Amino acid sequence: MNRDHRQELLDAIQQADRAGANAIIQDWAAGHSYQQVVSDLLSPTLETFGRLWAHRELGFSLATGYVAAKVAEDVLARLLEEAGARGEAQATLKGPVVLGNVEDDFHPLGRKMVGAFLRADGWEVHDLGVDVSPAQFLDAAEAQGARVIGASAMMYTTAKNAAKLREELERRGQAGRIQLALGGAVFKLRPELVATFGGDGTAPSAVEAPALFERLWQCATAQRGEGAP
């Protein structure tokens, strides 16, 4: 009988069983790359976890949220190790880029996965964490010379704050010169909200984030009237 690793992983997280969750992941990972673990097992499971948490459909405790974060960190650490072992991490960094959760959003898992894939692809990532104000995003981007900001939101109520980030870009005269990538569960479910809230693009999954950031970086470069870096 084929195992339902996604359901088993969700159950282990619900039970705050980090060791059990990692054992399930290790079993699935046999014969797969850790990039596939993220895209085909971890990411879908955490999307389900986040949806159930947001709608209070299961009795998740703070312990389960902590374990979910730690399981994600364990997998992402292995992903970076795997990329380094294959020589995929770039010797010359791309970027820099800035990541963070929008104001009032405290769901870091998706953002952390995006950061891991960007780092594995050679990007210089400045991660500002959760609950980042528009001014903090722009201050960091200007200080670091970033041409792409990646802002994450899980729910519609916090995704609306991305519009404030677009307003700050406009106010500082940085619209187009700094591109805005929006991500998170709400944008995956309702991709039309990317344009509604002022985003320049999104990616269906963390795996595809590097290609999105590459495209947006080139758009920002064109807006500045510069050649490719």
- Spell out the domain ranges in the chain: 5-85, 94-223
User: Higher-confidence residue: 189 or 215?
Assistant: 215
Binned at pLDDT 50, 70 and 90, residue 228 comes out as very low
Give the whole-angstrom CA distance, residue 65 versus residue 53. 9
Beta partners for 179?
148
Is the separation of the CB atoms in 146 and 96 below 8 Å?
yes
Residue partners of 189: CB distance under 8 A and separation at least 6 = none
- Cα–Cα dist 46/25, whole Å: 13
What pTM was computed for the model?
0.76
Which whole number is the average pLDDT over 134-145? 98
CATH code for 5-85? 1.10.1240.10
Altogether, the residues listed in the chain come to a count of: 229
Q: Is CATH 3.40.50.280 correct for 94-223?
A: yes
What number of other Cβ atoms are within 10 A of residue 101's Cβ? 26
Q: What one-character DSSP code corresponds to residue 212?
A: H
Residue 209 CA to its chain's centroid (Å): 8
Q: Minimal CA–CA distance to 147: which of 214, 55, 192, 53? A: 214
More confident residue, 82 or 183: 183
Instruction: Kindly give, in sequence order, each residue whose CB lies less than 8 Å from that of residue 188, ignoring residues fewer than 6 positions away.
Output: 47, 202, 204
**108, 157 contact by CB (below 8 A):** no
In angstroms, rounded to a whole number, what is the distance separating the alpha carbons of residues 126 and 206?
16
Which among 197, 92, 213, 199 has a CA at the least distance from the CA of 147?
213
**DSSP label at residue 104:** T
Alpha helices in 150-208, H assignment, sequence order: 156-159, 162-171, 185-189, 192-196
Identical fold for domains 5-85 and 94-223, yes or no, is no
pLDDT score of 108 more than 90: no
Tell me the mean pLDDT in the region 48-72.
Answer: 71
More confident residue, 20 or 73: 20
d(CA 139, CA 9): 39
Burial of 108 (0-12, 13-18, 19+ CB in 10 A): buried
Residue 59 has pLDDT above 80, yes or no: no
- Burial bucket for residue 203 (CB in 10 Å: 0-12, 13-18, 19+): buried
Quote the CA–CA distance of 54 and 140 in Å, as a whole number.
30
